[in-house]
A = this chain, B = another copy of it.
Amino acid sequence: MLAIVRRGAAGGAVAQRLLAACPDAELLAPASPDAFGALLRRLSTAGTTLVALGPLEDVAQAVQPGPDTAPVVVVAENGRAVVPLCGARAGGDELARQIGAALGITAAITSGTPPAPVPGRLAVVGLGPGKAGLMAPEVRAELDRAQDILGYIPYVRMAGPFRPDQTVHVSDNREELDRARHAFALAAAGRHVVVVSSGDPGIFAMAAALFEALERGDDPAWGQVDLVVLPGISAAQAAAARAGAPLGHDFCVISLSDNLKSWATIERRLAAAAGADLVLALYNPISRARPWQLDRAFEVLRQIRDAATPVVLGRDIGRPGESLTTTRLGEVRSDMVDMRTVVIVGSSTTRVLPRRDGKTWVYTPRWHEA
């Protein structure tokens, strides 16, 4: 039997994660610090394996560690430390490692001969634009084999549903580096971990964040993880396919987000790409925090490209409620675009053809004059 004993009101979120990691455990929450110590002592004496959520010192005083004590693992209330206090060889080390993996931290194993760690697998996968029919079978298989799935909430939902034996760790979209570290910690503890990205994980998505975490990380175990990147069909490709073949010739893919690069760099790249007559696919075109940048980008492009240049706006292509708009560089405005739109701006040769449904095809021929 395994009991999770929680001291007082703090640590509620951590307790929930422990329960998710040890679904057979019983969660006990004594009313006072004194009751916490008394309960631990009673359970430990009775041979119950314990996960104590509270200060190490308090737990050590309560259970009085001895050579034959049942395993007791202590977890900090903020979830940032896990220590096998007693019964390390009787399963305490292993339990601490499991909990560490679930919390994305390394267990403070101090016993003499830890078993050689079995490095896990960490796959960062591309779900494609958002419909099952455009997700690679290899990605589906990797998701089906995973023990832990990490990602931004809507992408995890898109990749699911998952089985009860699979643990899902959702997080906000702005926590890429934290998510990457958590993924490495889980995999280093032997878990089979999948980090999900929409589109292609290598195109403005999680793959680069994982390598960044790996490079900055100081845990050598991370380098032993079986790390793979599985590609996917990107949003630009899905939008291009729906529109015709606007990327049919030389093109570039540029993010308009100036969170991690200067706006001057972005303008310089836009001008260079427009000057070299490349088709442009623009990611992260707009957000609440970046309201004026897209109109400025269109201005930069209009100084170089003709106003008649075809522009494709693909929103949520491949997902429910998708929309595709084709317009011209002279007419496009930022209020036609939101953060879920990919903007494709044609080259000087990009052409518009009528479609049988009254809409238009947009394509860039293979030839280029001059």
Q: Please report A residues at the B interface, Cβ cutoff 8 Å.
A: 128, 131-138, 141, 176, 200-204, 207-212, 214-215, 223-225, 227, 229-234, 237-238, 240-242, 244-255, 260-262, 264-265, 268-269, 271-273, 275-278, 351, 353-354, 356, 361, 363-370
Q: How far is the CA of A211 from the CA of B207 in the complex (A)?
A: 34
Could you say which residues of chain B place their CB within 8 Å of the CB of A356?
Answer: 223-225
Could you say which residues of chain B place their CB within 8 Å of the CB of A260?
Answer: 366-368
Could you say which residues of chain B place their CB within 8 Å of the CB of A251?
Answer: 252-253
Sorted from nearest, which 9 A-B pairs have the closest CB atoms?
A: A208-B248, A272-B276, A252-B252, A133-B138, A261-B368, A207-B245, A211-B363, A260-B367, A229-B241
A202 and B241 within 8 A (CB)? yes
B202 and A247 within 8 A (CB)? yes
From known contacts A233-B231, A262-B370, A269-B250, infer whether A136 and B135 are also in contact, taking CB-CB under 8 Å. yes
Copies in the complex: 2
Query: Which partner residue on chain B sits nearest A274 by CB separation?
Result: B272
Could you say which residues of chain B place their CB within 8 Å of the CB of A133?
Answer: 136-138, 141
Interface of A is mostly: mixed
Q: How far is the CA of A367 from the CA of B364 in the complex (A)?
A: 31
Could you say which residues of chain B place their CB within 8 Å of the CB of A370?
Answer: 262, 264-265
Could you say which residues of chain B place their CB within 8 Å of the CB of A254?
Answer: 250, 278
Contact of A136 among B176, B233, B240 (CB under 8 A): B233
Shortest C-beta distance, A251 to chain B (Å), equals 6
Show 5 A/B contacts (Cβ-Cβ < 8 Å), sorted by A.
A132-B137, A202-B241, A204-B366, A231-B238, A250-B269
Could you say which residues of chain B place their CB within 8 Å of the CB of A275?
Answer: 272
From known contacts A233-B233, A240-B231, A351-B215, infer whether A248 and B202 are also in contact, taking CB-CB under 8 Å. yes
Q: How far is the CA of A367 from the CA of B176 in the complex (A)?
A: 13
Q: How far is the CA of A132 from the CA of B137 in the complex (A)?
A: 8
Q: How far is the CA of A283 from the CA of B303 in the complex (A)?
A: 29
From known contacts A141-B133, A211-B245, infer whether A261 and B367 are also in contact, taking CB-CB under 8 Å. yes
Shortest C-beta distance, A153 to chain B (Å), equals 20
B249 and A255 within 8 A (CB)? yes
Could you say which residues of chain B place their CB within 8 Å of the CB of A212?
Answer: 363, 365-366
A244 and B276 within 8 A (CB)? no
Contact of A250 among B253, B277, B368 (CB under 8 A): B253
Contact of A244 among B136, B229, B244 (CB under 8 A): B229
Q: How far is the CA of A176 from the CA of B245 in the complex (A)?
A: 15
Query: Which partner residue on chain B sits nearest A256 by CB separation?
Result: B250
